[in-house]
Amino acid sequence: MFSYILPFIVLILVVVFIHEYGHYYFAKKYGVGVTDFSIGFGKEIFGWNDKAGTRWKICWIPLGGYVKFFGDRNVFSQADQEKIVSKYNEQERQKLFVLKPLYQRVLIVFGGPLANFLLALVIFFSIYTFVGKDLTPAVINEVQKDSPAMIGGIKQSDVILEIDGNKVKSILDVSKYITMSTDDIIDFKVKRSYDELTLKIKPVTIPSEDNLGNKINKRIIGIKLGAYNNKINHVKLGPAQSIYHATHEVYYVSISSLKYIGAMIFGKADTSQLGGPIRIAKISGQVAEFGLLAFISMMAYISISLGLVNLFPIPMLDGGHLMFYAFEKVLGRPLSQKTQEGFFRIGLFILLLLMFFTTFNDLKDLGLFN
C-alpha cells in the first residue's frame, strides 16, 4: 500500500495545484487580493509568503486545496455586501472578490475547471507530438461462437469504422468505446469488402480484471481484434493533428463521463466502478509501475474528472457558485443569505453521501467487504 502513496501524492499535488492556479490566475488578473494558496487541508507542513502577501503552503491532508481571497467570509456571496463594504476603506474594497462585476467572478470561479481541461489538453498534445498516437485500423480476427457479435451479424475480417457514432481511429478505441457506452444496444459501423454496414450489438457484462489486475465488471461483445494488414501504425503527429486529437479526447472523456454518471443515477450503469481517493491512490501506484508515460496519461484523465466534477451544480463546488451567479443574472440580484445557506447544507449532504459511497466502494475493492 505504501508504494501507492508517493505516486498518489504527486498526482494530487499537480492536478490540484493546476486547478487552484486557475482560480488564482483570474483573481490576480482582476485585482482580487489572495491571502492563501493551499495545497491540502489541515495543519500546514511548510509555506512561504510572496511579495503580494499571499501565503503559499502545503498542508497535511492531500485531498484538495483552496485559494482564499482577501476579506473572505463567504467568498461567493454578495448577499451581505453592504456589511462587507462598511468594514473596508476604498483601497481595500478594490481587492474584494464580492465587489467585482459578475463576469469577473464567473471567470475566477470557472478558472479552476478550465485549468484542469487545459492540463489534460497539454498532456495529450505532448504525447501525440513527441511520443506518437496509434492509428492502426481495427480488424476483427475472430468472432466467438454464440457471442453478441455473432448474433448481431459481425463477421471475421470486418473493419470497425464507428462505434455509437464515434469514429474508430485506432484499434485501442474499440475497447474504450464499448466500455464507456451505457446503452443496452451499441451501434457498430463496419466495412465489409466494399460495403459499409451498421449493425446493432447487445453487449453482455461479465466479472473480469483490468490490465492492472483490479476486479471490474466488463462489457464485452465477443470479438478478437488484429491490425489491418498486420501492420501497426504508430505515428508522431504534427501540431495541427495533435491539437485536434487532444481536443477530441478531452471532449469525448467529458461527454462519456457525464453520460455514465447520468446512467448511474437512473440505475443503468455499474455504480461499483465509482471510486474515491483510496482507489485513485491504488491505481496511480499501479500505473506508475508501467512508466512515466502511463502515469502522465492517467494524470490527464484525473484532471478532466476533477474539472468536470467541480462544474456540477452542487453548492460548495465551483458549479454551485456558478449556479448562484446564474440566479443573480436572471433575478438581477444575489440570492438571500438564508437561501444560499440552505443550498450549502444540501450540497454538504450530497458531498458527504458521495464520499461515503465512494469510500465504501474503495474498501470493498480492498477486500474489506465481501
**Per-residue confidence band for 76, with pLDDT thresholds at 50, 70 and 90:** very low
Residues 126 and 6 in one domain: yes
Is residue 272 in a domain?
no
pLDDT for 237 equals 93
Lowest mean pLDDT among 11-15, 83-87, 363-367: 363-367
Domain stop point among 211, 235, 259: 235
Please give the tally of structural domains in the chain: 2
Residues 99 and 44 in one domain: yes
pLDDT for 230 equals 72
Residues 327 and 224 in one domain: no
Residues 328 and 311 in one domain: yes
Q: Other C-beta atoms within 10 Å of 73: how many?
A: 10
For 162-220, the pLDDT digits (tens) are 999 999 988 888 988 888 888 889 999 999 988 999 999 999 988 776 665 666 778 88
**Per-residue confidence band for 270, with pLDDT thresholds at 50, 70 and 90:** low
Sort 89 into a burial class: Cβ within 10 Å, 0-12 / 13-18 / 19+: exposed
Residues 16 and 120 in one domain: yes
Is residue 249 in a domain?
no
Q: Please give the positions annotated as active site.
A: 20
Among 308, 328, 252, 299, residue whose Cα is nearest residue 110: 308
Q: Which stretches does DSSP call E strand in 50-194?
A: 55-69, 133-134, 138-143, 159-163, 166-167, 186-192
Domain stop point among 235, 259, 285: 235
What are the φ and ψ backbone dihedral angles of 161, each rounded to 5 degrees? Answer: -100, -40
pLDDT for 189 equals 95
Is residue 60 in a domain?
yes
For 85-106, the pLDDT digits (tens) are 677 787 888 888 888 999 999 9
pLDDT for 3 equals 62
CA atoms of 299 and 280, how far apart (whole Å): 10
Q: Taking residues 72-96, report their average pLDDT.
A: 67
Residues 113 and 154 in one domain: no
Is residue 295 in a domain?
no
pLDDT averaged over every residue in the chain: 83
Is residue 251 in a domain?
no
Residues 12 and 119 in one domain: yes
Is residue 286 in a domain?
no
User: Does residue 282 contact residue 4 with C-beta atoms inside 8 Å?
Assistant: yes
**Under 8 Å CB-to-CB from 234, ≥6 apart: which residues?**
132, 133, 134, 135, 136
For 227-256, the pLDDT digits (tens) are 777 777 888 999 999 999 999 999 988 988
Residues 24 and 96 in one domain: yes
| Residue 165: domain span | 133-235
Residues 221 and 111 in one domain: no
CATH of the domain at 209: 2.30.42.10
What percentage of residues in the chain have a pLDDT greater than 90?
A: 42
Residues 157 and 204 in one domain: yes
Question: Does pLDDT of 369 surpass 50?
Answer: no
pLDDT for 210 equals 64
- pTM recorded for the entire structure: 0.84
In terms of average pLDDT, the best of 51-55, 232-236, 349-353 is 51-55
Among 104, 90, 233, 236, residue whose Cα is nearest residue 169: 233
pLDDT for 233 equals 80
Residues 173 and 112 in one domain: no
Domain stop point among 235, 264, 280: 235
